[in-house]
Each structure stands twice: as structure tokens, then as C-alpha cells.
Amino acid sequence: MRRHLAWLAVPLALFFGAAGGFSHAQDEAPEVFVAQVKGEIDERTAGYVSEAERDGAAAVVLEIDTPGGSLDAMQEIVRSESNIGGVPVVTYVTPRGARAASAAFVVMGSDVAAMAPQTRLGAAHPVLSTGADIEGSLGEKVTNDAAALMVGLAGAHGRDEAWAESAVRESVAIDAAEALELGVVEHVEPDLNAVLAAADGTRVEPKGLTLRTRDALLVQKPPSFEERTGISPYLLWALAGITTLALALAALGYWRMVRGRVTTGAEGMIGEVGTVRRTVAEGTGGMVFVHGERWRAVPERPEYDPIGVGTEVEVVALREGAVVVRPTEASVPEEG
């Protein structure tokens, strides 16, 4: 039993919500809400159970297959089970091979306790999170408190108090057949429908309720994505938004990079002014120095042919890998 875990810190009052009594008409099938508590119980299980609120249920069933959790959490669950006065709580250890170790507190605190064949219950001695015993006076104090809780629950629901105490003090565990024989549980049945049929008409104490569960409509409450994984869907949406934004920014950056390459390459040379380094003539071509680089060049019009070395020229077009140039106004001699 792990004292450091605070799973199910939210009371089961949230699980049962405002479910008050039996509001179903006589000609309607009763609804029984079913939640599964399986595996190592942690904060995700707490969220799952706390979200299982339903109104107007004929009963709420916890299907259990778990080693349990912290003693403090058990006390919260038991407190909630005991204080939900209008709705009976049914615990069912299932399927075959399942167990309820320290979760035996939850079973003892329920109004109807049932087990599937070949399941186990008990071994609820308090231990540290490492599995080691709690030594000294602290260990004695915790054990006495847990034993008192288990015995009190058993007595309140008419179950075997001697076994309840031994489950805590001596880590005694029993199988389904022994539990039924000792009066630790009320039913051993192969499936939940059989449990509800067997419990139908039973008056449970100390709540003073009579179960109406035969042929009930089972309403399953599967865990949500967040309850299964511990990851909030809001976080996923935020991550998706961030990813989309990042991709958009990357695409924009790529577009700018490509655009920048074009404007700084040959096409970006149009309108630039440079100097002839080798005579530019039609047919033979020439060489100009523009924008810090040498470019093969041809004259724009025959009247500019040839353009001598040292002439300042302007790039006006591109042609087959060469720049087309003409002398700038400043380099053309005035007539006169």
C-alpha cells in the first residue's frame, strides 16, 4: 500500500455526483453505471473516477482489478462511499485472475461486494512505496489505524470482522470461494449481469436501500484519452497549433530564401550598373564587372557595338546566360 501516492484525492462523491435514489419509472429498465478500476492506480485513475458522475442511477458499479493505492486515498474513497446515501455502491472483483489487494478497503466499504471465480481479495498490510515494512512506532500506528478502518467497514456492512483485521495485520488474502464462505463478500458470480440479478431486491445497510438491478441497462464509462494517458487534449491542441505555426513559419522562411536567391542572382542584376572589363561586341561577347562579379555580356543594340573597356554600362536584360548591357547616359559622349 503506497502512502506517498495520493490517487483519488477527489472524493467519490464526484463519481456518484448528484445521483439521488431511484427516479426511473416502473416500466423503464434501471440504469447501472459501470466504471473499471484496473492496473496501478495513480492520478489518472483519480481523474477517471471523478469524471464518472451520473444522475438517477439505480446503482454504481466499480469493476476492480488493482493492487490499490495509498491509505489516505482509501479513506477518502470509503468516506465517499459511506456518505452517498441515495445510491448503492457495488464492487465487483473481475475478471477471473483479478485481485483487490489494498483495494480491499474499497470492497469492504461498498454496499454490495462481489467477486468473480478465481479472484483474490486482501493482503492489505501497510507498507512503504518500496514494498518494505514501516518500522517502529510509525508502522504500529499506521497498521492500527488501517485495521480499525477495515474492521469498522466490515462490521457496518455485516461482514466478517476477524478476517478484515487479519487482512491488514497479517496480510491475509483469500480467494473468491473462501470470501463467500467467510461472509466477506455477498456474491461470487461469473459476470456482472449475474451479480446484479443476484443482488436485486437486497436491502443494504446502513443506507437502508433496496436494490432494483435485475435486467439493468449497463452504462459503461470508458476512460477518456486524458484519463488513459495523463495528457490533456487541450495540450495536444496547443501542440498542434504550435506545430502548424512552426510549419507555416518554415514555409515562409523557405519562400523568402528562394525569393532572395532569385533577386540576388542573374535576374536581380537587371538595372544594376557595372564596368566593361573586356570589350563587349556582338558575336564575340565581352565581360563586365557588376555587383562584385564578372558576367559575360552582349550589347543591347548594334549602335552600342562595340562597348570599350572601362565604359560604364547598365544591365537591361538576360540572354542565354549573358547579361545584355548598354552604356549609361554618363558614358555616352555628347554630340556637338
C-alpha cell at 77: 474513497
Strands 209-210 and 203-204: antiparallel
Contact status, residue 105 vs residue 153, Cβ threshold 8 Å:
yes
What is the phi/psi pair of residue 103, to 5°?
Answer: -70, 0
**Residues near 23 by Cβ (< 8 Å), separated by ≥ 6?**
56
Cell 561586341 belongs to residue: 281
Which of 11, 9, 72 is closest to 43 using CA atoms? 9
Helix, strand, or coil here: 69? coil
d(CA 156, CA 161): 10
Of the residues 129, 141, 224, 232, which is catalytic? 141
Of 97, 98, 45, which is closest to residue 70 (Cα–Cα)?
A: 45
Give every CB contact of residue 3 below 8 A, 6+ residues apart in sequence. Answer: 70, 71, 72, 126, 128, 129, 142
Active-site annotation holder among 102, 166, 207, 221: 102
Query: Residue 89: which of 116, 49, 121 has the closest Cα?
Result: 49
141 is catalytic: yes
Residues 316, 8: Cα–Cα separation, whole Å: 78
Cell digits of residue 66? 488493482
Rounded to whole angstroms, how far apart are CA atoms 213 and 192? 11
Amino acid in position 215: D
Active site residue 221: no
Q: Which residues are identified as catalytic?
A: 102, 141
